[in-house]
Every structure is written in structure tokens, then in C-alpha cells.
Amino acid sequence: MSITHHAADQEFVTIRQGYQAELAYARPANDVIDFTHTFVDEGLRGQGVAEELARAGLDFARKEGLKVKTSCVFMAGFVKRHRAEYEDILA
């Protein structure tokens, strides 16, 4: 699945089968990214799309040397379930 990073809009987006999903974020500090909201159209739910967006956002944070906050309930749960994998980048 192709995921596009729209830095100006602070979001990661994918469109599949005419449906959209997004992971929004804020940058409260130069070295911090806060994932604030995840949305997946009903037509894409249950297909792992949110998890793919989460991984794309977290991979971006790691590549950019950012510390991660998770105001989004989904992202907080995802990071908790995969803590060992992402512990090094958590704020």
C-alpha cells in the first residue's frame, strides 16, 4: 500500500479502492512528534490499514531522530502493544 507523507498538512495518507485513511500529527517541539489522530474510512477498516499508517509514522520519526508522543488513542495502544520495537523513540 502506498502511504504519502504530507509534511505541510502534518499527516500520512493512503487512498485505496476510493477510500482514504490518515494519521495526523503535531510537532510540539523541534525534536518531538505527537501522533494526534487516526482515521480510516469504513471501506478500509479491518484490513490493517491503521497499523500500516502507524508503522509509517513511527519509521519516519525514527529516521528523523524524533521522540514520539501519542495523543491518539489508537497510536497509544499500538505503541503499547509493540513497545519493545519502539521504546527507543518514545518521549
Mean pLDDT of 1-10: 94
The domain that holds 78 is classified in CATH as 3.40.630.30
3-state SS assignment for residue 74: helix
Looking at the chain, the number of H-run helices and the number of E-run strands are 3, 5
First to last CA, the chain: 28
Residue 66 sits in which domain range? 4-89
Mean pLDDT of 76-84: 97
Q: Report whether pLDDT(1) > 70.
A: no
39: cell is 482515521
Number of domains forming the structure of the chain: 1
Q: How confident is the model at residue 76 (pLDDT cuts 50, 70, 90)?
A: very high
Express each pLDDT in 6-61 by its tens digit. 999 999 999 999 999 999 999 999 999 999 999 999 999 999 999 999 999 999 99
